[in-house]
Amino acid sequence: MAPETSKIGDEMKTERKDIQPRCPHCEARIKELVVVKNGWFADHRVYCCPECEKIIGISSNFP
């Protein structure tokens, strides 16, 4: 099963707004995302919610 990859940042506009994003799973306000780095996750950037530890986004590790 190929993991779904999504480019985080590449296609986003850089307009800044003074909002705090919420986790789509537990709706906690997220100040920073946790990047998981172990095993399979070491080859990809896996972003997790620090509250519920659910995966929010995955992006490939392009050089």
Tokens of 5: 């990859």
Residue 52 touching Zn ion (CB under 5 A): yes
Between 6 and 35, how does the x/- string for binding to Zn ion read (CB under 5 A)?
-----------------x-xx-x-------
Quickly tell me which residue has 């307009």 as its tokens.
15
Residue 44 touching Zn ion (CB under 5 A): no
58 and 39 in contact (C-beta within 8 Å)?
no
Residue 49 touching Zn ion (CB under 5 A): yes
28 and 20 in contact (C-beta within 8 Å)?
no
Residues at the site binding Zn ion, with contacts judged by CB under 5 A: 23, 25-26, 28, 49, 51-52
